[in-house]
Amino acid sequence: MRAPSVQTTPSHPFGIGNAASTARGPEGPSACGAPWTLDLAGGDARVVVICANDVRRETFDESSVIARSLSPALIPARERVCACAGRVRPPPFVDLVFTANPEDGKVTVRAGDEDLDPELGPAFVACVGSLVATFAPLPSGACPEAGRASFVFPVRLELGDGDE
């Protein structure tokens, strides 16, 4: 597998997520203090698997095609979120939606603005925007009849209380 590459584009983000427990430290969100892993969401990490005629939720492990398709975006997403937290006052949390298309070798991350602090959220979401990481295409085997799959992984990332 080759190293992921990153392309960035501004976006009008969307998303929902699961709770992750972190607190804001003196140098920024503690979410920025350690590398991110796919258990970032905590609890029962489940992915929405979208096929042409089927939508379902699946649990995944670190060696699955799902995990290998989503993980190339972890480092660039962390870098983007943490850079924005250093430039723009972050809201208490941000929703990130990871969408992988393994057969295309692409994973996109978008910051969401649903349920965010109306004062802090829009500027932070605009800063994060969206990013695309690429990787060597992978056959997913997730869809019957050899169709292409999309894996959608929503995460609610706690950034702190937002009142520094």
What DSSP letter does each residue of 5-59 carry, written as one string?
EEEEE--------------EETTEEGGGSS---GGGG-SS-EEEEEETTEEEEEE
pLDDT tens track of the chain, all 164 residues? 233 333 433 332 222 222 333 333 345 687 888 888 887 554 457 899 999 888 999 987 788 999 999 999 999 999 999 999 999 999 988 899 999 999 999 999 999 877 778 888 899 999 999 999 999 999 998 998 768 999 999 988 888 754 44
